[in-house]
Amino acid sequence: MKRQKKRMLKEHVLAPPKVPASNPYSTFMSLEGVTVGADAAKKWKALTPEQQQEYAEKGRNLHALGLQNREKWVKTYHPLEVYKANKARKHLKRLGGGKKFDVLKDPRMPKRPTPIGAAFLRDQWNAGTFINPDGSKMPAVLALKHSRDLYEKLSAAEKKVYEDQFAAERAVYKKAMAELFGDISKL
């Protein structure tokens, strides 16, 4: 049953072009056709710092070009196809096993509304609420717990500001999704 489900989901997963790593050593290995091992490491160490810097620059350029190619590739598909592929990728990730399926980033997709708790946390973080007595910033996990407690203590009017903000963002998101996909009730 699980195999059949995986097989069915893999049919919907789009295979994006690979983006080369920006690591100078990896760039050296791929451009020079060197195989991994002690011999490759010796060749890399024999290079001058200027040559290594040159491979670092080539790596950054190849990585940027790969990202551009991936973005162009995503735009060759309808947003609905990318959306369905991402749903399949997320489901495969939950089922586990096999290769890693990351979500495809589509710049045409509207930004999801910020949840109420996350908006409150962001505002409090930017206001400097989560500062320890020694002046350092509080770890994110503690700040999240503290933020939850602070939100509970807010008055109904103060909570309504965040709820209204979320409702407005959600309406804009739903409208944008409807424009992009048509009937969103079937998604």
Q: CA 43 from chain center: how many Å? A: 35
Are both 81 and 122 inside the same structural domain?
A: no
* Residue 108 maps to a domain: no
**Considering the domain boundaries, does residue 100 fall inside one?**
no
Confidence of residue 187 (pLDDT cuts 50, 70, 90): low
* Structural domains of the chain, count: 2
Q: Which of 165, 124, 166, 169 is CA-nearest to residue 144?
A: 124
Query: Does the residue 84 lie in any domain?
Result: yes
109 in a structural domain: no
**121 shares a domain with 86:** no
> Residue 65 — very low, low, confident or very high, per pLDDT cuts 50/70/90?
very high
pTM as predicted: 0.71
**Strand (E) or helix (H) holding 67:** helix 49-75
Range of the domain at 13: 2-95
pLDDT confidence of residue 98: 65
Is pLDDT above 90 for 64? yes
Instruction: State yes or no: pLDDT of 52 exceeds 70.
Output: yes
